Amino acid sequence: MSYALQGSLLDQVEQVGLRSLAGAVRRTPLSRGAWVDLRPGWLTGADELFARLMPGGSGGVDWRGERRMMYDREVDTPRLLRFYSATERWPDPVLQQARSALSTYYADELGEPFTTAGMCLYRDGRDSVAWHGDREGRASTHDTMVAIVSIGSPRALMMRPAGGGESIRFTLGHGDLVVMGGSHQRTWEHAIPKSSKPVGPRISVQFRPHGIR
């Protein structure tokens, strides 16, 4: 009897879905009013979702190469991007579920819902993003949150105080959730460094409130 129950639970775990946030999110306070929340393994069925979101996958994501202003210069971003506004069709329903679960969990602290989904595809270890804060819009003056779900191959997400200082490393993959909050986007910086080791593709989905980027 208990075996049968276990079997059916295991089957469910392979489905694309979300585990709970309540009671499972661990906060690390950083300096200057910034903090990081971690919820490892938030997403279930991460491999299946990864396949849907990859180029040619059933999600139909039209990945784009882009140029971006960084430190007042326009640079080629060595990664592929697709930004989804609040109103357009998103490539998988679990992403809307994630947005609403995050909005509910952080409602009191954030005071507004998460709205958009920015997606990045790091094809291999040569793809990366340089040190930056997500400072466009109100993030340059106000506390906010950026929530990132990571799928595919694990990659290092680095953080350091803005302008330099000792960095901290999070290795993210397999449906892990990380949330950067408080003053993080203006007082700290984050980066995905290049990797000289062979590394497979990784997709990151960033949820942000309206007007933050």
Ligand X SMILES: O=C(O)CCC(=O)C(=O)O
CB-based closest residue to Fe ion: 134
In DSSP terms, 206 is beta-bridged to 118, 148
DSSP-based three-state secondary structure for 177: strand
Least distance (Å) between residue 146 CB and Fe ion: 7
Q: Pick from 18, 148, 177, 212 the residue near ligand X by CB under 6 A.
A: 148
Judged by CB under 6 A, the chain residues 80 through 119 that form the site for ligand X are 118
Rounded to 5 degrees, φ, ψ at 209 are: -70, 165
DSSP-based three-state secondary structure for 5: helix
Note whether 208 binds ligand X by CB under 6 A: no
Least distance (Å) between residue 18 CB and ligand X: 18
Would residue 33 be called left, alpha or beta, if left means φ above 0 and alpha means ψ between -120 and 50 degrees? left
CB-based closest residue to ligand X: 204
Residue ranges binding Fe ion (CB under 5 A): 134
Q: What does 80 interact with, of ligand X, Fe ion, none (CB < 5 to 8 A by kind)?
A: none
Residue 75 CB neighbours (<10 A) = 11
Q: Pick from 16, 36, 120, 179 the residue near ligand X by CB under 6 A.
A: 120
Note whether 129 binds ligand X by CB under 6 A: yes
Q: Pick from 39, 99, 186, 190 the residue near ligand X by CB under 6 A.
A: 190
Residue 86 or residue 107: which is nearer to ligand X going by CB?
86
* DSSP code string of 187-208: HEEEEE---SS----EEEEEEE
Place of tokens 């986007």: 185
Question: Binders of ligand X: how many residues, by CB under 6 A?
Answer: 11
- How many Å apart are CA 6 and CA 84, to the nearest integer? 37
Would residue 4 be called left, alpha or beta, if left means φ above 0 and alpha means ψ between -120 and 50 degrees? alpha
Rounded to 5 degrees, φ, ψ at 56 are: 85, -5
Q: Pick from 61, 139, 179, 192 the residue near ligand X by CB under 6 A.
A: 192
Q: What does 43 interact with, of ligand X, Fe ion, none (CB < 5 to 8 A by kind)?
A: none
Site for ligand X, rule CB under 6 A: 118, 120, 129, 134, 148, 150, 157, 190, 192, 204, 206
